[in-house]
Structure 1
Amino acid sequence: MNYSTVILLCESGSTHDFKDNLTKVYEAIEESDFLAIDGEFSGISDGPSVSALTNGFDTPEDRYQKLKKHSMDFLLFQFGLCTFKYDHTEEKYIMKSFNFYIFPKPFNRSSPDVKFVCQSSSIDFLANQGFDFNKVFRTGIPYLNQEEERQLREQLDEKRSQANGAGSLSYISPNATKCPVTIPEDQKKFIEKVVEQIEDLLKNEENESLELEPCTGFQRKLIYQTLSWKYPKGIHVETLESDKKERYIVISKVNEEERKRREQQKQEKEQEELNDAVGFSRVIHAIANSGKLVIGHNMLLDVMHTIHQFYCPLPDDLSEFKELTSCVFPRLLDTKLMASTQPFKEETKSVIHEETGPGSDL
């Protein structure tokens, strides 16, 4: 059977490359006849090797429980995807391959700050194979599971709702109020100084905006609460972040039309940032929604990690896991199992099956 490799995308794994090529990934998945996946992990098992951890006397439930307990604290940080489409004119398969470097960078302070562990044998193997760890940690594509995405979208909707009910302010702290707030004694001079600066801004016809010094989250909260009742119209308030990751407030003089325009821009930017945070999960969702046959070799851990990282924590027992897996990947084929089962076992017995890497004994 003939194959033709026509494309290799997203090898750098950066968010920028991912966004530029996401439409092409979607198209490749949609037009394919079947897919193949493979993952690389920061480790395979916590403590004993997989061969020592599991054995031939384990029931499927035992094996699932052991792998769930000892392997899910590792990180799947590279995901390979190949799509295959048969060209009837050329009588060959057209293969498109994609290589994604993945890392769960926080979207904002409300985002999950993921902890994971590494296994020296896995890291050593990947390093010897030329794996680029800088691409993972510096430019890896972020992701969220479904519950994390839902929570962040609810927070964003709540913030927008509060902003829409607050008049001129484009951003309002969850505890902002239209009534005078109680300011702690040690913060009164700080707030008084901010108010003086705003008064000067409003009186000065030449200046259109005011950039406050970086301050703490509590001080920013006090600023928003104070401005929400003291200046109900005529100003736009926004929190930005400097190159040094310091957060500061910018206050601008605006009319109502300009305020709405800036608010719309801000909402669009927030939506784009949230979509970026969902990141690689969108590829997994596209694979799942396609219903296409997904092929892998020795792929139990690949499937477990994919569901665990991009959908939800693994269920407690095997029956629930199988039900969940059938929803995410309704059609799966493991070539290792296929090759060791009749009648294919007889057909392939002359072929030496050998895998490299720390996961070869799974």
Structure 2
Amino acid sequence: SLFDSPAERYLKARQSVQRFTVTQLGECWSEHRKYVVHSYNFFLFPSTLGLTDVEFTLSASSIQFLSHYGFDYSKFLRDGIPYMNEVQEKILSQHLLAGSSKVSSALDRDVLKKAIDEVTCWIVAAEEEETMILQDLNGYQMFEVQLVLRKALQNVWTQPLGDKKVMVRKVSPQHRQLLENSPYDYCRKELVLLSARGFTNLFQTLVKAKKPLVGHNMLMDLMHLHDKFYKPLPESYEEFKRNIHNLFPVLIDTKTVTKSIWKKCPLPRVVNLLEVYEVLCSNLNPKDSTCPVIALASDCSRYAEKKSPHEAGYDAFLCGSVLLKSAHLLLCRSTDDAVEADPSFSQYLTVLAEYLNKVNFIRGGVSSINFSGKDTPCEHPPALVVHVRGWPGLNERQIYEEFKPLCLFDVRRLSKNQFIMLSNKFKHVRLVLRDYKHHPHLRVSVYRHWRHSPRVNCLLQVSGIVALWSLLAFVLGGAPCCSL
């Protein structure tokens, strides 16, 4: 809503981010001078090792949308890479230090019970140094089986063999002590945490690298990155901004960049990232010999043959390509001289300077969120106030539908018979003021805070009453006394 401030929108989005999970994340790396693109898809699934069972919401419309674009739900559910934030990692670390292990999955509990039964039956007759193999263990089951067996039986040692197998060896207690926390111990706390962190390890590598982070309409992406891989989202909007800026000092939102370019250049209006990419690759955007050459590496060459919109890796490729082409266009427009051959990325960053750390804010009180400073309010057209006469029971939705055929406004109730409307287009404001000038039931005028605000009106009424009582007290108090 145009009424939303960034802080209000953040609190609304925060609730959504906390309910949903990340199913797929795409990353795109490129090598200069010729930009050779390596694009990756990561299917993600919340970590379950030693943690309270993670719950998340599924939206029916989102499932249909992703299914339409070929999203592999089986891979997401079966092979998703685990991840956790710092709070979850701390809880798991405490469990490991205490030697306690909690299995939250019913499937894992069944697998664990079967493995324990097999080992306890085998170990009774087994000789020292004799071994057995447990098979068909997936993911965390490899760790969980080993941790539980080692805790329950002091005369066994376990070792993963790969290919979903774990070797169990009968050993003496003395031999067991030598093996524990040695290089041969594959269940050391740091190794368990490394596995449980999963994709978070890559996230932490990106944070340490301090490279520019590029996205398209990336506010929700940043919120998910913070919540899923760093820390739960704070209640404070300003704290969220500070945290993100500390993690990623340079943000580039291609939506912010292209919005500006589209105002300066005679390019056709487009809606989504793929359309932006296609326009910038078309003849509508003149090419020259200095234009960056973008080539897909062999491991992701399928993107050159077939479009894969809304696949994370493909969208990452589009985003990086749009950034380079947009930056080159801005570089060409910034100078009257010919652009030198093979411009460096630092030159592109220079022409992008005014857009750095400004993330697009969709339809709200600011045009972008500034992660390295204060947000600058938008210059919206003046608000309109609608005064209703002779049309009882009218609500916000009905007001919206009334004006919808003419133009789009965001509507909020101001008082019982008044509504305030906001638009981001001056022509819409002029149109409504003209066409509703003589409407029998709706009187539309420009909103004036001192005149239309219920709080100001209330204050004026209270002030008037106080002034009247003061006047009466003065008049009555100043009247001459009569004595008998």
Indicate the TM-score class for this superposition, using the shorter chain for normalisation. 0.5 to 0.7
Deviations 1:68-113 (A, max 9, x none): 12343111111011123321xxxx2222211111011412xx2242
Q: Name the SS for the 1:303 alignment partner.
A: helix
Equivalent position to 2:74, from 131, 134, 144: 134
Relative to structure 1, the CA distance from residue 255 to residue 323 in structure 2 (aligned partners, 3 Å threshold; closer, same or farther) is closer
Structure 1 residue identity aligned to 2:226 = I
Q: Separation in 2 of the partners of 1:93 and 1:125?
A: 32
Q: Separation in 2 of the partners of 1:348 and 1:274?
A: 51
Relative to structure 1, the CA distance from residue 348 to residue 278 in structure 2 (aligned partners, 3 Å threshold; closer, same or farther) is farther
Distance apart, 1:155 and its partner CA: 3.1
Distance apart, 1:300 and its partner CA: 0.5
Aligned counterpart, 2:91 = 151
Deviations 1:312-337 (A, max 9, x none): 11111211110011011111011112
Q: Name the SS for the 1:72 alignment partner.
A: helix
Distance apart, 1:142 and its partner CA: 0.5
Does residue 337 (structure 1) correspond to residue 256 (structure 2)? The answer is yes
Structure 2 residue identity aligned to 1:73 = R
Q: Separation in 2 of the partners of 1:58 and 1:291?
A: 31
- % identical aligned pairs: 30
Aligned counterpart, 2:231 = 312
Aligned counterpart, 1:351 = 268
Q: Does the aligned pair in 2 maintain the 1:142–1:277 contact within 8 Å? A: yes
Q: Separation in 1 of the partners of 2:151 and 2:192?
A: 23
1:58-77 to 2 correspondence within 5 Å? 58-77=4-23
Distance apart, 1:282 and its partner CA: 1.2
Deviations 1:240-292 (A, max 9, x none): 9xxxxxxxxx7834262464136636743344333121000111111111111
Structure 1 residue identity aligned to 2:213 = V
Q: Separation in 1 of the partners of 2:132 and 2:64?
A: 52
Does residue 115 (structure 1) correspond to residue 18 (structure 2)? The answer is no
Q: CA RMSD in A?
A: 4.2
Relative to structure 1, the CA distance from residue 267 to residue 338 in structure 2 (aligned partners, 3 Å threshold; closer, same or farther) is same
Relative to structure 1, the CA distance from residue 67 to residue 130 in structure 2 (aligned partners, 3 Å threshold; closer, same or farther) is same
Distance apart, 1:224 and its partner CA: 6.3
Q: Name the SS for the 1:264 alignment partner.
A: coil
Does residue 102 (structure 1) correspond to residue 26 (structure 2)? The answer is no
Relative to structure 1, the CA distance from residue 269 to residue 297 in structure 2 (aligned partners, 3 Å threshold; closer, same or farther) is same
Q: Name the SS for the 2:32 alignment partner.
A: strand
Q: Separation in 2 of the partners of 1:269 and 1:207?
A: 19
Q: Does the aligned pair in 2 maintain the 1:77–1:136 contact within 8 Å? A: yes
Structure 1 residue identity aligned to 2:53 = D
Of structures 1 and 2, the larger Rg is shown by: 2
Structure 1 residue identity aligned to 2:84 = L
Q: Separation in 1 of the partners of 2:179 and 2:129?
A: 20
Does residue 300 (structure 1) correspond to residue 300 (structure 2)? The answer is no
Structure 2 residue identity aligned to 1:336 = K
Does residue 279 (structure 1) correspond to residue 188 (structure 2)? The answer is no
Relative to structure 1, the CA distance from residue 320 to residue 60 in structure 2 (aligned partners, 3 Å threshold; closer, same or farther) is same
Deviations 1:48-81 (A, max 9, x none): xxxxxxx112111111111112343111111011
Relative to structure 1, the CA distance from residue 311 to residue 353 in structure 2 (aligned partners, 3 Å threshold; closer, same or farther) is same
Is there any run of 5+ residues in structure 1 with no aligned partner, and where?
1-54, 160-172, 175-193, 212-219, 229-234, 241-249
Q: Separation in 2 of the partners of 1:207 and 1:86?
A: 55
Distance apart, 1:354 and its partner CA: 1.4
Relative to structure 1, the CA distance from residue 345 to residue 208 in structure 2 (aligned partners, 3 Å threshold; closer, same or farther) is closer
Q: Separation in 1 of the partners of 2:10 and 2:129?
A: 65
1:1-362 to 2 correspondence within 5 Å? 55-87=1-33, 92-107=34-49, 110-159=50-99, 235-236=155-156, 252-254=170-172, 256-257=174-175, 259-261=177-179, 264=182, 267-270=185-188, 271-341=190-260, 344-348=261-265, 350-355=267-272, 362=362
Q: Does the aligned pair in 1 maintain the 2:219–2:361 contact within 8 Å? A: no
Deviations 1:330-349 (A, max 9, x none): 110111122224xx343345
Instruction: State the TM-score, normalizing by the size of structure 1.
Output: 0.56
Q: Name the SS for the 1:268 alignment partner.
A: coil
Structure 1 residue identity aligned to 2:88 = E
Distance apart, 1:307 and its partner CA: 0.8
Deviations 1:183-227 (A, max 9, x none): xxxxxxxxxxx9xx98x76xx86895799xxxxxxxx99x968x8
Q: Does the aligned pair in 1 maintain the 2:159–2:186 contact within 8 Å? A: no
Q: Name the SS for the 1:104 alignment partner.
A: coil
Q: Separation in 2 of the partners of 1:132 and 1:239?
A: 33
